[in-house]
Amino acid sequence: MSLAAIFDDARSYARFRDVPVDPAVLRVIHEHMKWGPTSMNCQPLRIRWMVSAQARQALSECVYEGNRAKVLAAPVCAVLGMDLAFVPTLEKLFPHKKDAVAYYDGKPQLVESTALRNSSLQAAYLLVAARMEGLDCGPMSGFHQAQVDRLCWDGTTVKTNFLCNMGYGDRLEMRERNLRWSFEDVCEVR
């Protein structure tokens, strides 16, 4: 698959065809995205794949009204979370830096910003991997975080970052593509 197919020609989908996604595809997506780089290999992303009608129904009650039908119609909604307790795992994931854990001691804002930044990176890798595997994606941030956290991460140190509907997109009623900034608009080479 080409870069154009992954980025230029791909779209964010709000509608999906009524075709299930094989759970084996979700495993393949993870097996590829897990190799994407994160700072100090911290890997804070946690995923809840909401596939069953029951799981998506429960999740639909946690999203803004305009997103409910999207969650219910998508074959998969990935709840993408960030584990705020990633720091102790650095001993295993980044063993050559002996003071990696101490770097975060007493710095809860650093822990949270690192978890958010790196789980977002990992989620982006996940979207690219999903597109490579032939799935279409519809990322969303219109949800009630506390409700999603209770539904998916209750009793854990994970907080929801964002949601992403996945499946086989339906271009029916798709709007024109929105503007993207040019290189000259947003880049400066120094």
CB-CB contact of 80 with 29 (8 Å): no
Predicted pLDDT of residue 11: 83
The pair of structure tokens assigned to 77 is: 């909604």
For 185, how many CA atoms within 13 A lie in the half-sphere containing its CB? Answer: 4
Q: pTM of the prediction?
A: 0.93
For domain 12-166, give the fold: NADH Oxidase (3.40.109)
User: Closest by alpha carbon to 108, among 46, 159, 48?
Assistant: 159
Separation CA 83–CA 45 (nearest Å): 6
CB-CB contact of 50 with 21 (8 Å): no
User: Closest by alpha carbon to 164, among 49, 36, 45, 10?
Assistant: 49
Q: What is the DSSP letter of 129?
A: H
Average pLDDT, the chain: 95
Instruction: Please state the domain extents for the chain.
Output: 12-166
Could you say which residues of the chain have pLDDT below 70? none
Phi/psi of residue 43, nearest 5 degrees:
45, 60
Predicted pLDDT of residue 138: 95
Predicted pLDDT of residue 173: 75
Predicted pLDDT of residue 2: 81
Predicted pLDDT of residue 3: 85
